[in-house]
Structure 1
């Protein structure tokens, strides 16, 4: 395992190597940067395969390089992550200047060898390779002012792996087989990489807002054997996936600061209209999903995609739990007995999104009618930029056993939720926590009052004894 100091040293060397290469393959900075990162990816991938310091892609000409990449592709099926990583770069290099092509590759490879000098080949495990690639990508992006003002097609936004760590532990606690996993809303595919690292043989179905070549490379670094990625919207009227298919589904929907009603001219309020489209009613009821708030749309759609024993883990903001205009959507989930658990998560789990989050767990087949609520807002360790999950074991134990602790967790019946007009707000059902706090404060006040009274009586008795002693 490479130390943090060695990693920083290697990244600094790689940056210097990139900056010192004066050859230009294209006038597009992002595309040239991307090709350099592809060469590094290949080097790291081969190092992960226990080839000392990686096998470099050397070639004497552009045609020879393309032939070499084609031979690699032919070794793998089209669903393999390495096939897709290679295929992506082959489409771009066709536009590069051919004359300087071999020189650029040779210069880059010499830089890799120099950058990793003194580092043991045993240090190139999957995690280290991912860290190296991500760190270099972030540094190179920060060097280019254009990246600060534009969203490029291949930007890779890193999201903490705390979320997938929690979900992995929750799911493995059930000891079930996961053959297919669905990621219906990946911004550029951050969480599926962490999942693939732990489940390389699981078939991944990913719907992505931006298909990034960096995502393909990350999946190849972790050894994902079967990947299907589409640039598509999972809430399209015609579904891109089939019903009753996936053993596991996972989505991280970053919350936004928005109001339920919007002010328009004249000071009037305008309610948001439902999403449009002739959806399959078994999949999604469009009248229950506001056009601006689509969280419940993703919940209905994802629950529809689950196999008989499938489980979905959806992390999102809290608004969908109690917004009045989404009461019908929540009623649909309750009547389907789809909601297994709702877990309040700590705030500030992402440095760029401090809003509080919740984890809602859906099941296709649920043995009980009640919903398990858990307050896990204190299960974190404060860090410089964000809060980090801690106490995974306690959360997993309580969710798995549906353990009820006063003020921390509760089992809530559908009738109770119906009484609250289908609000799923944890504050409606973890009220004991407030009562515990109020009782504690009341006890402290009574204790203080009794202590003061006892002190007054003690002082009175002491004064009485002093008066008696003077008389004696």
Structure 2
């Protein structure tokens, strides 16, 4: 009862779960954020898609246009945890009602068992954020309606399509190669059948 009436948390009308309090910290930070300020908070990805109280808090944040950007980071980036974290950027003075989603999961280099952001990686992320750019397989500027249609899911993967790195196959060419293989196989079968028929002939007889 004390916390639900706390001015930091009461605007959302619900409290974040005790065991998963990331959104409580986000609400706390938002309450102290200046009208022209920016808050960037490292979060566990689960808060971006789980239901219940967390979904209601996300709805509050989106409906009031506080979420400026969500950046998905690579795994194994921080000491002591291997999970892929994300950053939620909040503002109170947004000039549009869109939310930028950035998939930076591949923006890193391998250093021993951990990943590391290079200066180039950080520049690419920051430039995309600053310019609110749409880059294929990297970022997407989602409208309020898009987020609402996705049931206030703020997972980056919901909005940024991953690049398909699978080998592309030319079906027409493959089909032609299969026909050629089948034809060669038939020739071999005919030659084998001929050899077998000659072997099976009685001694002293020849095939006419």
TM-score of Structure 1 vs Structure 2, range by shorter chain: 0.7 to 0.9
CA displacement at 1:406 relative to structure 2: 2.0
Q: Structure 1 residues 330, 356: CA separation in 2 closer, same or farther (over 3 Å shift)?
A: same
Is it true that 1:392 corresponds to 2:122 in the alignment?
A: yes
CA displacement at 1:385 relative to structure 2: 3.7
Is it true that 1:300 corresponds to 2:23 in the alignment?
A: no
* In 1, Cα distance between equivalents of 2:111 and 2:177: 45
Select 1:320's aligned residue among 47, 59, 65.
Answer: 47
Is it true that 1:311 corresponds to 2:71 in the alignment?
A: no
Select 1:341's aligned residue among 69, 85, 88.
Answer: 69
Is it true that 1:444 corresponds to 2:168 in the alignment?
A: yes
Deviations 1:257-276 (A, max 9, x none): xxxxxxxxxxxxxxxxxxx4
What SS does structure 1 have at the residue aligned with 2:137?
coil
Q: Structure 1 residues 353, 281: CA separation in 2 closer, same or farther (over 3 Å shift)?
A: closer
The answer on whether the counterparts of 2:12 and 2:56 sit within 8 Å (CA) in structure 1 is: no
Q: Which has the higher helix share?
A: 1
What SS does structure 1 have at the residue aligned with 2:168?
helix
Deviations 1:57-76 (A, max 9, x none): xxxxxxxxxxxxxxxxxxxx
CA displacement at 1:358 relative to structure 2: 0.2
* In 1, Cα distance between equivalents of 2:48 and 2:138: 18
Structure 2 counterparts to residues 10-409 of structure 1, below 5 A: 276-280=3-7, 284-285=11-12, 287-325=14-52, 326-390=54-118, 391-409=121-139
Deviations 1:355-397 (A, max 9, x none): 1100110012111111000100111111114211121111111
User: Size of the alignment, in residue pairs?
Assistant: 180
The answer on whether the counterparts of 2:9 and 2:15 sit within 8 Å (CA) in structure 1 is: no
CA displacement at 1:278 relative to structure 2: 2.3
* In 2, Cα distance between equivalents of 1:321 and 1:459: 53
Is it true that 1:428 corresponds to 2:152 in the alignment?
A: no
Output the TM-score relative to the length of structure 2. 0.77
| 5+ long unaligned stretches in structure 2 | 185-208
Deviations 1:304-335 (A, max 9, x none): 21112100010011011011111100011001
The answer on whether the counterparts of 1:283 and 1:301 sit within 8 Å (CA) in structure 2 is: no
* In 2, Cα distance between equivalents of 1:392 and 1:428: 23
* In 1, Cα distance between equivalents of 2:178 and 2:158: 42
The answer on whether the counterparts of 2:42 and 2:85 sit within 8 Å (CA) in structure 1 is: yes
CA displacement at 1:420 relative to structure 2: 1.8
* In 1, Cα distance between equivalents of 2:183 and 2:14: 74
CA displacement at 1:284 relative to structure 2: 4.8
The answer on whether the counterparts of 2:48 and 2:155 sit within 8 Å (CA) in structure 1 is: yes
Give the superposed CA RMSD: 2.6
The answer on whether the counterparts of 1:284 and 1:297 sit within 8 Å (CA) in structure 2 is: no
